[in-house]
Amino acid sequence: MHKDIATPLRTKEILHKYGFSFKKSLGQNFLVDTNILRKITEFADLTKETGVIEIGPGIGALTEHLARTSKKVVAFEIDQRLLPILEDTLSPYDNIQIIHQDILKANVQDVIEKEFSGIKDIMVVANLPYYVTTPILLKLLTEQLPLKGIVVMLQKEVADRVSANPGTKEYGSLSIAIQYYTKAETVMIVPKTVFNPQPNVDSAVIRLMKRDKPIVEVEDEAFFFQITRASFAQRRKTILNNLTSALPNGKENKDLILSSLEKANIDPSRRGETLSIQEFAALSDVLLRTLPNLNK
């Protein structure tokens, strides 16, 4: 068994050896607690048949735990300075592939086909860089990748939004997008003290397991998400006012938006945060039929 990377001392040694300095712009916070890394791996339920995608491996602390428990790990790292470090720290493992690329620009579907041929069970497991958490999650879900699920660490406040219920202040278009595709739960809170450098906020680990099919059936998925985003454009506004001001051509079509809300049995004076995913689905289908030019 190799000496774990994620101890405070070993992390310090590695950073010192390479003269590595953290880039704030890349949201680099390295975990220095092997216990938490082991738990993250357990939540992902990995087996020797699992292919794992990691985003932002840092110096390889989580990567080595993933390599020990899965068939293969493919990690996307944007920071060129970390490539020689990873080559060194992960040298004991032969089932890791590091890709020097921004996950948001990568063709992940191609990478999966190339790196995971014959592997059916694919999980994303990562300690996500805080500044791009939302776009990464949405990319992974909307691109219809053949994933079984996603287990990631992110800012606690984002985790609260991901698994929020209607009627709460955390509930918004992100909650709807994630719950549309997955069953979402927060499985662990992680204190800021277990990172080097220490971030300003606590983190949480969320587990998103892909649904066989989305939680609601809608006629036009892109339009459904457009309506949910518009409904939360200004949280204090009613749904009628938000849709009127946030949709293209909304102001000219206020009467039609009003009648669509009534057709969908939604009181126009409600706020977006009180609507369930099912109500948003009904509303977006009615709007699509009433106002096909709304999203043009």
Which residues are documented as binding site for S-adenosyl-L-methionine?
Answer: 29, 31, 56, 77, 102, 127
Burial of 46 (0-12, 13-18, 19+ CB in 10 A): buried
C-alpha–C-alpha distance, residues 229 and 244, integer Å = 13
* Tokens of residue 185, six digits: 């739960």
34-43 vs 61-69: helix axis angle to the nearest 10?
Answer: 40
The amino acid at 230? A
Provide the annotated binding site: 29, 31, 56, 77, 102, 127
